[in-house]
Chains A and B, each alone.
Chain A
Amino acid sequence: MVAAASPAAAGAATGFVGALAALAAGTKGAVLWIRQDMAARESGEIWAPGFATLGLDPARLVLLRAPDVAAALKAAEAGLSSAAVAAVVIEPFGAIQGFDRIAGRRLALAAGRSGALGVMLRLAPQPGAPAGLSAAETRWRLSPLSSAWGAAGARAAAARTEAWAEALEGWGRPLARAELTRNRFGGVGRWPLAWGFDDGLFRLAERRLGALDPDVRRDAAAAADPRDRAAGPADRPAAAPGAGGLRRAG
C-alpha cells in the first residue's frame, strides 16, 4: 500500500507506484490500473505522456474506471488472477470501509497464486486504516523531495554528453522521499529516491551540493534526519527487483 503524505505528494506517490508497475510488467505484462471515479476528481487522472518517461508503455495499460470501492476490489481480484496481468494498481477514494479483512485476504491470495504485483494507491487517505490493509506486505508513505537532491551517478552520465551542455540537464528529475512504515519481512526506514533516466529505476538519491542553489544549504540542515539511513535488512534500493517484499501485494 502506498499513501501520499499530502495532496501535493500525489505526484511523487504516483511516480513511485508507476515505476513499480513498470518493473513488474517488464517487457510483456500488462498493467491494470483501477481508479475510483472520485479519486480522479480529487487528484487528477493518470496522464499517459508523463508515464512514458517512467518506462511504462501506455499501450500496455488498461484503465478501469470503477464507480465504487466494491467494483474496484472485484476488478482487482479478477486482474490479479489473470495470467496476462503483471501488476494491478487500485486507487480507491475515501474511507473505503468496504475493504475488510476478507477482501484483503482475497486480493493477497490472488496475487500470491499468480505472482502478480498488487498495489493500493491512496492519494487522499483518511485517518484510520481499513482492516483489509492488514493483508499488505508493505506500507509506504511518499512525500515530495526537493531538486536539491540528485541521482547518484548522474554526473557520470552527464560527462558522456558535451560538457558545456550539462547545463541542459536542469532540474525536475522525478524525486521522492519514500518511507516504509510497515514491513512484514523486515525493518522500516526512509529513503530519498531519484529516477535514473538511463536505467529506468529509482535509485538512492544523493545530496547535490554546489553553487547551483542557495537553498541547498537550508535543505541540508532541514533534511539531516537520522532516519534517512535505514536500519535492517530492508536497507536496499527499493526498486531493485530482488526486493521480494514488494512482489506480491503492497
Chain B
Amino acid sequence: MASNKKYWQSVEELNENSPIVETLRNNEFAEEIPVDEFLGDKEALSNSSTSRRDFLKFVGFSTAAASLAACQGPVIKSIPYVVQPEEIIPGVWDYYATTMADGFDFANILVKTREGRPIKVEANKLAGAKFSANGRVHASVLSLYDSLRLKQPLVDSKPATWTTVDAKVAKGLAEAAAGGGQVVVLTGTVASPSTEKLIAEFGAKYGANFKHVVYDAVSSSEALDAYQQVYGERALADYDFGKADVILAVGADFLGDWQGGGFDGGYAQNRIPKKTATKTYMSKHIQIESNMTLSGANADKRIPLTVTEQKYAVVKIFNIVTGSSVPVPAVNKAYEQEVIKAAEQLSKAGTRGVFVTGLDDVNAQLLAFAINQKLASEAFNPGAPRYVRKGDAKAVKQLVADMKAGAVHTLILNNVNPVYTLPNGAEFAEVLKKVKLSVSFTLRNDETAKHTTVAAAAPHYLESWGDVSVAKGYYAVTQPTIRPLFDTKQFQDALLSWSGNTTPYYDYLKAVAATAVAGKTWNQLVHDGVAVSEVAPTTATGAADFSGAAATLASAKAVNGTLELVLYTKTGLGDGQQANNPWLQEFPDPITRTSWDNYITVSKADAEALGLENWNVANGGLNGSVVTVTVNGVELKDVPVIIQPGQAKGTAGLALGYGRAEGMKAEMVVGVNAYTLYNNFNSFQNVKLTKQAGEHEFACVQLQKTLMGRGDIVKETTLADFGAKSPAEWNEMPQVSYDHQEVPAASIDLWESFDRSTGHHFNLSIDLNACTGCGACVIACHAENNVPVVGKSEIRRSRDMHWLRIDRYYSSEETFKGDVEKKDAAHGLMNSIDTFTSMEDPSENPQVVFQPVMCQHCNHAPCETVCPVAATSHGRQGQNHMAYNRCVGTRYCANNCPYKVRRFNWFLYNNNKDFDFNMNDDLGRMVLNPDVVVRSRGVMEKCSFCIQATQAVILQAKRDGRVVGKDEFNDACACSAACSSGAMVFGDVNNAEDPITRLKEDDRAYHLLDHIGTKPNVFYHVKVRNT
C-alpha cells in the first residue's frame, strides 16, 4: 500500500528557502568535494613516487606486520639485587614503627613496606601508642610519592646544590651575628625534644637577637594561653572521654581536629551501650555548636547556637556548675531551657562529667578549667598535657611587625607556609623582601618558598629521623622507611651543620633519646616506636580570676546585620598541608558528602532570606548558589553555598585548607582560601554574605538527605527502650508471608544453602553506636585495594570508586523516631504524597546517623545469579568473589545489587592522561599494593573483605603449623584495622574465641534489608541514643 507519509531528511526542510535542501536534492554532498584539487593535476599525480599499488602494498604489509608483532609476547626483564639486604625478601612485607608529626596531625603508626617501598599506614597498637591514625595520616603515604615535591634545593628559584645553600646560609648567618639583625626560626609545632634542644643550641650564638617562633596555621593559641595561665606551661589539657558519663561540649569538635584530635577511641568505648542485670549504661553526649560537626552528628542532644550565644551558654553552665551568679543574658529563646538542663545534667554527673569548649577565647577556655576542676572530672587530665599545639599567635604578629620594621636579618622557616595560611599572607610575602636571608624547609615549592631566598627541599616524614613528645611522659621516634627519593636535607641536619656541629642528626637524636627514655635501649625504642615513662603530673600554679573571665565572656555582643562565621577544618584536608593528595581530595566529607571543594554552609532560614539555593541537576550532580563573603572589608569571591541542616541560624561555616595553588596539580586547585578571613587567628568572624550571579557545580556523592522513615535501614532505639523492652520490639525481624503464614524473613530460603560450618566464615560487624563517621576506613581501604581516584567531574556523574562509603542520614522530624511515626501515619493518596514530599527535607536541627556500607557479601547474593559469565561467585569462607579477568562489564550485577556497592571502571584509570592522579605517574604508582591487581577498564569491582589479607593470615598460620589467632583477621582487613573507635570488627564466626562470634549473637545485631533474604555477612548493631 502506498504511503503518503513524508520522510524528512533534515530539519533544514522546515525552512522552505534553505539552499541546502535544494542542493541536497540534486547532489550527494551539500558541498563540492575537492576531488580536482588532488586528482586534477595529472602531472603531480604521475610524479608522485607513491602509486596506488604501492599504497595498498604498504597497507597490506603494515597490517600483516602489526598482527605478527601482536603475536609476540613482551620480553620481561627481572633484575635481582647484587647484594640483597638481609631484611628484604622480595614478596614479603616488613613493618616499621614510626611517628607522624607534621605540626597538625600526630600519630603513632606502623608503616607497611614492600621491597623497600612504604605502601600503607597502619595503627601502632602497642601500649603507649597514644594517637591513632585518622584519614589524613592513612593518606600521608601517598604524599610521599607526590610528583610535585621539591626535588632539590632552590636558591633564588633556581636549582642549586646543598653546598651552595650551605655557603649562602653561612655567609648570611655570619652577617647576622656581626650585628645585621635578628635571626628567627619559624616552625610549626615541633613537639620534638631533640629539635627544640637543637634550635636552642643553634640560637645560643645570637643571644637576644635569636627567636624561635612557633606558628600553627590553625591556632589553638587561646587554649594554650589559658593553660599557661593556670598550669604554667604552654600545652593543652588532655581528656579521656572514656571516663565520662556526661559529655558537654560547646563549640568543640573533639571527634574532629579540636586540640589535635585523637579523642575518638576513648569516646567510642563509652558510647557502646552495656547491659547488666541491674542497669543499662552508656555515656550521654550533649553538643552545643554552630556548624554541624562530627561531634554534633554523634551527640545524643545537639543544641545549635551562634558563637555569641555559645559564650553566654558557657557562662551559664559555669554559673550552674560552680554555683556562681555572674550576670549573663538569656542564651536563646528556643534553647534556653535545653542549655540549663544540660548544665544540670553535667553538674549531677559530678566526677563522671566533663566539659570542653573550642571557642577561641581565653576566657571560655579558663571557664572550662573552672568547670572541670569544680566537677573534679575524671576525664579531665591536665596533669599530663598534650604538646601537639604550641603556636603563639602574639609572637607571630610580633614577627611580622619586626620584619616590617626591617629588624629581621635571617628567617629560617620549617614546615610552615605563612604566605598561604596567614590572613595577611600577601603582606607577609611583601615584608619577606626586607629579610636579607630567608630559608624555607618545605616539601613543595609552595607560596612561601616562592618568595624565600632559599627553598630547601625537605624530606617527607617517612624519609626522616625524628622524635616526638605528643604528651607529657610520652616519647615517640620517627624513623625513615625508605631512602630519600630526592636531593633533600632534613631541617635538623642543616641546623646542626649551620651551628658548626659535625654530629649527624641521627647520633644527636640517639643521645637525646637516651636521656628522655629510661629502661629502653635505642633498638627497642626504634622497634616499638613509642615509650612511656612515669613523670610527675603538672599541677595548677597560677590562680585565675574565673569570675572575671565569666563576666568578660558574658559581655560579648552579637554584631547586627552580620552572620557569625565559624572557620573549621575538614576531615579530609585538615589544615591543607596535604592538599595535593588525591585520596584526600576525593574523600567525601562525612557531613555534606561533598568532595573536591570547600563551601560556605548556611542554615535553611538564612539561605531563604538571602535567596540561596541548592538543587540537583539531570546528570545526578548537585549545584548551588555562589556568594561573596566579606569580613572586615576583605572579600572572598565565588564561594559556593551548601544549605546545611543543623547549622545554627545566624551562623555560617567555611573550611580552611582549600584554595592552594602553588606546587599543585591543576585538578587539585579547588575551593577558596578561607585563611584570608582568619583574622587574629580566631575561628569566629563576623561576616556578610552577598549573593553573586552564577552557580557552582559540586561533586557530592549523596543527594538524598533523609531516611524517609525507613527505620529498618538504620535501626534505632533509646537507651530506656534498650534496657526495658525485649529485643524483638526495638530490633524487629521483618516478617514475610510463607504458606499464608507470617514468618521471620531470615527463615525463608529460595536456594539450598551452603554448609558454612567448616573452615573459616568471615563476618564484619559494624556498631552504629561506636562509628563516629571519621572515614579513616575509607582511606585505608583506598590504600590497601588500589582503588583509583576518578576526579571531580566523574564523581559528579556518580562514578565514584570508593569500595566503602559512609552514608549519612538526617532526620526529617526532630528525631528518626518521629520520621517513622509520620510515615506510619500517612494515609490516602494526597496525604501520602504530602507526607513523603515533606519528608525529603531534613529538619532544622536533625538527628544524624552514619552508616558505613560496603559489599555485604550476601550468602544469597543477587549479583551472583545474574552474571552472564560467572565472574562473581561465592566462596565458602563467606566472601563474594570477583574475578576481574572474567568480567565482561555488563553491569547487570551492579543493577541487581540492593546495596549499590559495586563500582564500574568506566576508564582505564591507571593509564589515561585525563586522570592525572597517582596511578598515572611512575612515582605515584609506587604506593600500589602488589598483592592486589590494578583493575582495567570495563570491569566491575567492589569490596573483597580484603581477601588478599585474610589469605595471607591463613597462609602464615599454615606455615607456622598453628591455628589462626583471635584478632588476626580483624587486623588484616583494612577497614577494621583502621577503625580506632572499635566500630568495625572483622573475624571468623566459626571460631568461638573470635570477638565477632559474640557480636553476631548480640541482641543489637541486624542485617541491612533483612526482608529481601540476601543473608549478608555484614551485620550492623542497632544505634542506641541516650536521650
Decide whether A and B are members of one complex: no
Residues of B within 8 A of A (CB): none
Residues of A within 8 A of B (CB): none
